[in-house]
Structure 1
């Protein structure tokens, strides 16, 4: 492990310290390491499309949208090569939220996520990708 020194504005450091306290970090070093991992895991490079990953796709949709529920299920079934597990939550009388875990190459996971998020009636979607070494 290597020791480094950084310079940070007082206001930014105070905000970072508050964040670390709320999240129960033991020290700043742990917080900086997590921040670096997060930043690097989201960096797009030429190899990311082929790298194995797991992705968590969370999306909110209007379940009253005509045939949307069956279209979403069909999207999952049309990719048997990508393991998936879904958690379903009823938000209110019209809206549901699903969190789907996908495993495959970055290209595969992004493709499935795009197919789901682009469906009419899906009101919000976000994909969080974690590389697998």
Structure 2
């Protein structure tokens, strides 16, 4: 098995160690391997392939970190065909929430969520994905893909 060196904030490392202890993992590597498999599998749902999808993505960040808000604006413009709607809100005294409604393919939504997750200083990134054809009279079955991710 290959050995990989990963940089991460001390706080995240402490959370991984606590999680490993509390849930019976053998150590950090096992937690990171499982988290990686889950992340990679999130957008590999065959039921969502080749369908028109809608996604809701929420991003929470500290409003004093202006680079996050600028990055969200940049992503909104970069993916203007995908972003059907965008809403910015203040949450409590120090935080902002950015909400995106996306309409497009699984690959495009996956790319967008990946770019949001890669944004430095986001606190949380949550999303849900659902086929648009489930809303119409021809809805056949209920296939919902959900995922949650936390920022850096």
- TM-score (normalizing by structure 2): 0.53
Unmatched tracts of structure 2, length 5 or more: 1-41, 134-152
Mark the CA change 1:43 to 1:121 in structure 2 (over 3 Å): closer, same or farther: closer
Q: Residue 80 of structure 2 aligns with which residue?
A: 80
Superposition map of 1:1-133 within 5 A? 44-46=44-46, 48-133=48-133
Q: Residue 24 of structure 1 aligns with which residue?
A: none
Is residue 50–residue 107 contact of structure 1 (8 Å, CA) maintained in 2?
no
Mark the CA change 1:108 to 1:43 in structure 2 (over 3 Å): closer, same or farther: closer
Q: Measure how far apart 1:128 and its partner are.
A: 0.4
- Report the count of equivalent residues: 92
Mark the CA change 1:44 to 1:84 in structure 2 (over 3 Å): closer, same or farther: same
| Cα distance in 1 for residues equivalent to 2:43 and 2:109 | 16
| Cα distance in 1 for residues equivalent to 2:43 and 2:63 | 34
- TM-score (normalizing by structure 1): 0.60
Unmatched tracts of structure 1, length 5 or more: 1-41
Q: Measure how far apart 1:58 and its partner are.
A: 1.2
Higher relative contact order (CA 8 A, sep 6+): 1
Is residue 68–residue 120 contact of structure 2 (8 Å, CA) maintained in 1?
yes
Q: Matched residue of 2:76: which SS?
A: helix
The structure with more radius of gyration = 1
| Cα distance in 1 for residues equivalent to 2:117 and 2:94 | 17
Q: Measure how far apart 1:43 and its partner are.
A: 9.3
